[in-house]
Structure formats: structure tokens, C-alpha cells
Amino acid sequence: MIEFFRKRTANAKDDVLSGLTVALALVPEAVAFAFVAGVDPLIGLYSAFFLGLITAVLGGRPGMISGATGAMAVVVVSLVATHGVTYLFPAVVLCGLIQIAVGLGRLGMLIRMVPHSVMLGFVNGLAIVIGLAQLGSFKVLDDATGVLVYMSGPRLFLMLGLVVLTMVIIWGLPKLTKAFPSSLAAILLVSGLAAGINAYGPDSLRPASGGNALATVGDMLETNLQADAVRDALAEKRAPVIEELQEDAEQAGMVVAPSSAHAADEEHGIILSEAEVAAAVATVDSDDASLSGGLPIPYFLDPQYEVLPPLNLETLWIILPFSLVLAGVGLIESLMTMTLIDEITDTRGRGNRECVGQGVANVTCGLFGGMGGCAMIGQSLINVNSGGRGRLSGIVAAVMLLAFVLVLAPWIEMIPMAALVGVMFMVVIGTFEWATLHMWRKVPVSDVFVMLLVTGYTVFMHDLATAVVLGTVVAALVFTWRHATHMGADIKFNEHGSKVYQLHGALFFASVRSFNDLFTPKHDPDDVVIDFYYTRVYDQSGLEAINALAEKYRAAGKRLHLTHLSPECRQLLDRASDLVEVNLSEDPQYHVATERLG
């Protein structure tokens, strides 16, 4: 990783300023992920507040930022669409309880099992995903069709220019002074420049329908609401046509999937005219396109949620699958992010405490009508690069985010997206492990494959948790195969004429075949010694292989001696226990983990 993240010591000034920088970067992310989940943008902002505040206080990694994330939003979107938003809140609460149980069960240490190749793939894939996600900020609403299209012409070049300016400031300011976070300075300077252009710039830079030449956070929120309104209008127009198609199909004994009906929109005339698009866009009130809101209250006291799901087994079976996936995704992303921040800051977080902190945050978030979340790697890296090292940085970020919602929304809505995109592009540059581009011939092919697998799955499937699990499983299989083929023996004869097998390697389920192939009971002499001094027995399969081999020598009428076995192995051997020779001064003192020792 390039030296984008500088080694710093924690201090209050840096924590406060970096917290403010992070809060500004949290706003568009929280709003965007709320749209992904199909909930109100304020739900995303309240979620980021609770998650950021509680994990900053209770979590195991000072300086790490948590909030509403895309990975969690993708999980809950089907629950919200099928059962309504009120089922989301108890699902998030249950997710938090599961995460607390994982932390109290001290299962957070399992993150140590993630190989370095998986970590590299995760980091590179996430950097690419963060970069691609910024492309959405270059989209505007097409007045004729109501779909989001990429901007072009002078507006595009103007935005690109400010994005580059933001990146140059972040890169160059630390060379002049480190007294002020470069990311915050870039946001403030570019925001001032954009405000002047939007206020006094030529009309040729503005969109045909009016508005700002440079898209702001407020414009982004309004554009998303308008796009949702157009999609709703299209779905309403499509509904009777789909119903008619399905009725005709049922009469013919066929089934028509809604997706196939969607694909035939133009064939069946299911398109919106410019007048219908304009009417749909006009339904979006300017007051709706605002980040302003009040203090969050528990969802069961909120009058807007008139009908709440009953607290019974039926509700539990509906939300349980979503809660389990949410808990797993949240913990994997949080622990992986913690590992990355540990590496950057040369410190060590506490995984089990982080699990508990994430759980408490999600329980609180769910009770107050939030969508849940986990650690955010992009915002965490912004915090680290801006000098945030202590818990104060996360607390300030959360408190400022709530302040934005309560009193500062009009100012925050004026921040240009170009400034925030520039900040995130610098995060991408600092996150990507550039050394991997020239290390292909320096590491095993299997590690390169695992790295590419995790990166590819992350980029194309947008599922970070599954990518990490998949990469770890593949790496574990490679490790198992290698050690399965490393079982060997040095064969010699002692002064008594006994044949001695000096074993080397690990004896476990995958190496049992190689272990058995080493011995020839029918052709061996009458006295055989198997020396386990350089061998470790790791599981029940290894013990059973020893028992089975002893039976073969017994059946052949030959004497077998087993030496240098650990006390646990001697205790767990059934049929071969009387063949073990004990030497307390030389026998190894390692432990073998099996079900019988449980």
C-alpha cells in the first residue's frame, strides 16, 4: 500500500477535525444506501448516527467508523419490499443480539484464520467497488425518459475538473502543512468554488430543466427521489399489463414471470411519455428532498408506523434468516476493516469487543427505526488519513451527522458531489494494494488465484462477506492438500534389527492415505517401531488410522511399538494403546483436539 496513510499519534484536535471530515463524507453514503434498502433517507442518516456513536464508544477499534452500509442494505431490500419497513426494525435488533452472542462467545478471534491473500483480494476488490460506486455521482435525470444517464458536455468537464482539484489538494496540502486535514480543506475550498459557480456561472453550464451547474448533495437526494417516482409510475403502468399477461398464461397452462414481462415493456407499450415523466417528477416535493429531520424516537412510538408486526414465532421465522445474514455480513466486514486499520496504524484492535459493540449498536439502531450497518472501510480510511486515531473522532463524526440533520441540513445540501467524489477517489488510491501488480511471480500460484478470486467476486457480485468466506475456504483447501502430500518417513533399522519408521508431517484426515501408503505390514520384519517424534496428530481421523494400522500388524502376527506419542493421543487410542511406549522426558507435550476431549 502506498504511503497515503501516515503514521500519527492520537490527539484531540486531529480527532475533532477528522470526525468533521468523516461526517461530511457519511451523508451521501447513508442516503444512497437508504435508497438501496428501499427506506427513507433519514433512516439511513439515523442509522449512521447510532452505529457511529455506539461503536466509537464500545467497539474494539478506536478510529474505525461504522454506519449504514451497502452490503447490509442489499440483504434487507427484499424484506422491506415483501413485508414492509416495520419488519426491518426487529430484524436489525435480532441481528444485534446475534452479534453480541458472537462477541461474548469469543468467536471474533476467527478473523485470524483469514489468509493474507484473502486480505489482499478483499482490499483490492473493495477499492475497485468504491471507485465504481462514485460513477453514480456523474449521472443526471434524463428529462425525456426519466432514467439516470451520464452527464456530458461542459457540466461533465467542470465536475471532472473539481474532482481533480480536490485530489490535488488532498495530495499536496500535507507537503505544506499537516496542521489541518487535507480532505476537510479540499471539501471546504471546492464547496466555496462550486457555490460561486452555481450562483454566478453562465446558463450554458446549467441543465436544460434548470438547477445547479454542479450537482450538490441536495441535488443528489432530489435526483434519486425523482428517479424513484418515475420507476413507481412505470410500475403502476406496467401492473395491469402484467396482470393481463398472467391471466392469459394461466388459461393456457403457462407461467409468465414478471421479469419477462418487464423485458417486453416496449413490445406492450409500457413506456412513459415525456408528459408522464414530467408528472411523476412533479410529485417530488422540494421539502421531501431535504436532509432536515427531528430527533429519532423508538419506532414503536413513532405515529407514522401505525401497524407493527406481532412479536410471535411467525414474525421470528420471517426475520430470522435476514438477521443471521445481516449478523454474518456485518461482522465479517467489520473485522476485516479492523484488520486493515490495525495494519495501517500499527496497532491492534479487539475483535470480540468489536463484535459486542456492533451488536449493541445494531440493537439500538433497530429500536430507533434504523436499517442496521457495520464498519465502513471508506470512511474509516478517510478518518485515518485525516489524523483520526482515537474514539473521539468517531464520536464527533456521529454527533456532527446528527447536527446536520437537526440544524445544518441546508448548508450540507450545498456541498458539491465533486468534492466528495474526489475524496473517495483518493481513498481508492490509498486502499488499493499496488504491490500486487508486480508480485505475480514472487508468490505461489495458489495465492494469486485466491487473491483474484476474492477480488473478482467482490467486484462482480458486490458481496464482500461471501467473497471473504469463499477465499478462506479455497485457501484452506489448498493448505490441506499441500500438507496431505507432505507425510513421509525415514526408514532405518536399529541395533536390535527392528525396522524403524521415523515419521515427518501432519497426520490428519487428508493425510491418512499418505500415512497408510508408507507401511507394508506383510513384508515388514517381526518387530516394527513407528516414531512420532516429528509428527503431530491433529484429529480423530489420524487416531483411527493409527488404530487400524496396529490391527494390521497384529493380524500379521508382528510386534509394533509406537513411540513419542502425546499423552492425549495415548489416552484416545483404543485398540493400539497397549503398544505405546511412554518416555516422559522425550514425549511431546502438544494437544490434539477431537470430539472426545470436548
Looking at residue 255, its pLDDT comes to 57
pLDDT at 567 over 80: no
Nearest-5° Cα angle at 378, 375 to 383: 85
Overall average pLDDT of the 180-188 stretch: 91
Question: Mean pLDDT over residues 336-354, rounded?
Answer: 90
Task: Evaluate whether residue 543 is within a structural domain.
Answer: yes
pLDDT of residue 408: 92
The pLDDT score that the predictor gives to residue 570 is: 72
Which are the contacts of 554, defined by CB distance < 8 A and separation ≥ 6?
560
Which range marks the domain in which residue 546 is found? 485-597
CA 70-141-218 angle, to 5 degrees, is: 65
| Domain total in the chain | 1
SS3 of residue 492 by DSSP: strand
Spatial distance between the Cα atoms of 238 and 258, rounded to a whole number of angstroms = 10
User: 539: how many CB neighbours lie within 10 A of its CB?
Assistant: 17
Are 89 and 370 contacting, i.e. CB atoms less than 8 angstroms apart? Answer: yes
Average of per-residue pLDDT across 492-497: 88
Q: Which of 341, 360, 285 is nearest to 99 (CA)?
A: 360
What would the pLDDT profile of 399-449 be if each residue is shown by its tens digit?
999 999 999 999 999 999 999 999 999 988 988 988 888 887 788 899 999
249, part of any domain: no
Under the banding of pLDDT at 50, 70 and 90, the label for residue 513 is very high
Please name the amino acid found at residue 261. A
Percent of the chain at pLDDT > 90 equals: 45
What pLDDT, on the 0 to 100 scale, is given for residue 247?
A: 74
Question: How many angstroms separate the CA atoms of 281 and 258, rounded?
Answer: 25
Q: Give the span between the Cα atoms of 232 and 413, in whole angstroms.
A: 25
588 vs 557, higher pLDDT:
557
Residue for grid cell 510386534: 559
Distance between CA atoms of residues 94 and 325, nearest Å? 11
Q: For the segment 439-453, what is each residue's pLDDT rounded down to a tens digit? A: 877 888 999 999 999
Residue 562 within any structural domain of the chain: yes
3-state secondary structure (DSSP) of residue 101: helix
For the cut 90, the answer to whether the pLDDT of residue 484 exceeds it is no
How many CB atoms are closer than 10 A to CB 2?
11
- Please tell me the predicted confidence (pLDDT) of residue 579: 60
Provide the residue type at 66 as one letter.
Answer: S
Per-residue pLDDT, 67: 94
> For residue 261, what pLDDT band results from cuts at 50, 70 and 90?
very low
Give the CATH number for residue 525: 3.30.750.24
491 occurs within a structural domain: yes
- Assess if residue 503 is contained within a domain: yes
Range with the poorest average pLDDT among 249-263, 340-354, 470-484, 524-538: 249-263
pLDDT tens profile 122-134: 889 988 988 988 9
Helix (H) or strand (E) segment spanning residue 325 = helix 313-345
How do strand 559-563 and strand 527-537 relate by DSSP bridges? parallel
Q: Is residue 399 part of a domain?
A: no
pLDDT for res 130: 86
Contacts of 587 (CB under 8 A, 6+ apart): 564, 565, 566, 567
Work out whether the CA dihedral 96, 101, 103, 104 comes out positive or negative.
Answer: positive
* Separation of alpha carbons 539 and 515, rounded Å: 14
**Residues 6 or more apart from 556 whose CB is under 8 A from it?**
521, 522, 524
Which residues have a Cβ under 8 Å from the Cβ of 107 and sit 6 or more positions away?
A: 352, 355
> Measured between alpha carbons, how far is 406 from 580 in angstroms, rounded to an integer?
75
Rounded to the nearest 5°, which phi and psi values hold at 461?
Answer: -100, -15
DSSP state of 529: E
Residue 256 has pLDDT above 60, yes or no: no
| 197 within domain boundaries | no
Residue 502 domain-assigned? yes
- 188-247 pLDDT, tens digit each: 999 999 999 999 888 778 877 677 889 999 999 888 888 888 888 888 887 787 777 777
